[in-house]
């Protein structure tokens, strides 16, 4: 994939988290996301208890951008 910001080559991979990756309308304190009511889970989990939640992404090492596909 070509970076839309600088035109460099992007590396495919994933963002991974122990508890899941959520979209929030604004930054919150470190609290469980399900308490917010407006948090949207973006991550996937292929094998619960074996593979932590992840979300496919591409990163550009030149301009330090990450593009997330959810």
- Rounded Cα distance between 56 and 11, Å, is 11
- Rounded Cα distance between 52 and 18, Å, is 5
pLDDT tens, 29-54?
Answer: 666 666 557 778 888 888 777 888 89
Q: Which residue has the tokens 């979300």?
A: 55
Single pTM value for the model:
0.70
The confidence band for 12, taking pLDDT boundaries of 50, 70 and 90, is very high
Cβ burial of 60 (10 Å; 0-12, 13-18, 19+) is buried
- Rounded Cα distance between 59 and 28, Å, is 25
Q: Count of CB atoms within 10 A of residue 54's CB? A: 17
């Amino acid at each position: 994939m070509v970076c839309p910001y600088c035109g460099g080559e992007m590396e495919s991979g994933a963002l991974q988290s122990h508890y899941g990756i959520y979209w929030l309308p604004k930054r919150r304190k470190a609290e469980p996301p399900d308490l917010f009511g407006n948090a949207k889970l973006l991550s996937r989990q292929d094998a619960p208890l074996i593979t932590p939640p992840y979300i496919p992404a591409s990163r550009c090492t030149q301009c330090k951008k990450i593009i997330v596909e959810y």
